[in-house]
Amino acid sequence: MKNPAESKPREIGRREIGRREIDKIDAGIVELLDKRARLALELQKEKNPSSEAVYSASREAQILANVEEAHGGPFPKSSLRSVFGEIVSGCRHLQSEERIVLLGEKFGWVHDAALAQFGSSSNFAPVEAGEEVIEAIKKDPSALAFFHLGGAANEIHLLLEAMLAGELPIVAEIQYRHRYSLVCGQRVEIPEITDIFATRETLSALRKWVLSLSFPVKINICRSVEEVIENLVDSKPLAGLIPQGIANTRELNLVQGNIEPAVNHACRCVTVSGRAGGTLKKGMKTSVLCALPDKPGSLAAAISPHEKYGCNLMGVEMFPFHGKPWNDLFLIDFASPDSEKKLASLLQEMEERCRLLKCLGTYPVMK
């Protein structure tokens, strides 16, 4: 019969050996990360700064796809994507400290969506107006701008006109779903919270969750997410509802995460630049903006060539305009054909059926 007193030291010994092995693996990971960073810097020196941007959405999408394909478990796939997204973000930051112009409030949900695409090592410059986005790209064609393609009517109309003029080619897209975290300046359990701070927009989205709270709490409405964060002092059990990705970058304690609105539709956010994106690759999306003849069946005629080229239609969205040579603009998305030649022919056939047409780009949809 085994002596329990003898087996305990053996268990501690095995545990210690396991921990040392993990420490050794961690050190090896750090060494490989440094090696990757040095190689990224060397490759950047080979790039032509006048024609090659640091950010390549197609290359980053390929890196993440390669990582997922090589994955054999048991490490969670979602965590794997997050880890490598941050590795890519860190290496990109080493290559260039360029800012990404962001149409939306600091720490708001559009900022959170940009964070999901570019990673926490990126430098974001929030702006309030579409004019500032256009001006930033005009000033530096290699700059990047990020915005929700469906925001306030006056802003989106201004941006759509700039896109129609060829000033803002799309280089990437992300489909964002809202997720929030309840955070606090100190470590507390939910029932200990006395106040919750949130913006009116967040409270509206999470109304069902707020009503489900089973303890008395004071709700405080703030003008911005930044104001929510400013109210979370260490000395009091005050909590705030902020976008989940933003919460992960702040020195705050998580009380509850993965809080979603009852209805959580995907929001389409795009990255634009003064330079068009990379070469056509399998799985990319192409978008065009067009105005149609004022006659029945004009939309059906415009999209009819897609069947001929074997391109699935991915979406059609109409934006009404007033006081313009056109009444409406249509944003048409489709799966890109397998060659540049086919794409050029398809676009030509579409253009013949439209009053005017502009290809906004062929680009990857980032996950």
At 140 the pLDDT is: 87
3-state secondary structure 164-188: HCCCCCEEEEEEECCCEEEEECCCC
pLDDT range class, residue 241, cuts 50, 70, 90: very high
> Residue 254 has which token pair?
């998580």
How far apart are the C-alpha atoms of 204 and 211, rounded to whole Å? 11
Give the chain's end-to-end CA distance (angstroms, integer): 56
Which pTM does this prediction carry?
0.90
Give the tens place of pLDDT for each residue, 297-306.
Answer: 999 999 999 9
Position 243 scores a pLDDT of 98
| 3: confidence class by pLDDT, cuts 50, 70, 90 | low
Residue 55 is predicted with a pLDDT of 87
Provide the pLDDT for residue 7. 59
**347-363 confidence digits (pLDDT tens):** 999 999 999 999 999 99
According to DSSP, residue 293 is labeled -
Calculate mean pLDDT across residues 207-217: 95
**139, 99 contact by CB (below 8 A):** no
Instruction: Please say whether the beta carbons of 235 and 186 come within 8 A.
Output: yes
| CB-based contact 99:219 (threshold 8 Å) | no
pLDDT in tens, 317-328: 999 998 888 889
pLDDT digits (tens, 9 = 90+) for 104-154: 999 999 999 999 999 999 999 999 999 999 999 999 888 899 999 987 778
Domains along the chain? 35-175+268-275 (3.40.190.10), 180-259 (3.40.190.10), 278-367 (3.30.70.260)
Long-range contacts of the stretch 30-38 (C-beta < 8 A, 24+): 33/87, 36/87, 36/91, 37/90, 37/91, 37/94
What is the pLDDT, as a whole number, of residue 227? 98
Q: Residue 257: pLDDT above 80?
A: yes
Rounded CA-CA distance 125/120 in Å is 13
Closest alpha carbon to 143 in 117, 106, 111, 168 = 168
Q: What is the mean pLDDT of residues 25-49?
A: 90
Region label for 297, one of left (φ > 0), alpha (ψ between -120 and 50) or beta (otherwise):
left
Average pLDDT rounded to a whole number, residues 266-281: 88
Residue type, 350: M
CB 243 within 8 A of CB 108: yes
184, 193 contact by CB (below 8 A): yes
Q: What percent of the chain has pLDDT over 70?
A: 96
Least confident of 2-6, 68-72, 228-232: 2-6
| Tens digits of residue pLDDT in 39-64 | 999 988 887 665 567 788 999 999 99
SS3 state of residue 108: coil
Distance CA(209)–CA(262), nearest Å, equals 8
Rounded Cα distance between 228 and 240, Å, is: 6
User: How high is the pLDDT of residue 279?
Assistant: 81
Neighbours of 173 (CB within 10 A): 21
More reliable by pLDDT, 213 or 280? 213
Q: What is the DSSP letter of 61?
A: H
Q: Quick: pLDDT tens for 155-197.
A: 899 999 999 999 999 999 999 999 999 999 999 999 999 999 9
Residue 10 scores a pLDDT above 80: no
pLDDT of residue 49: 62
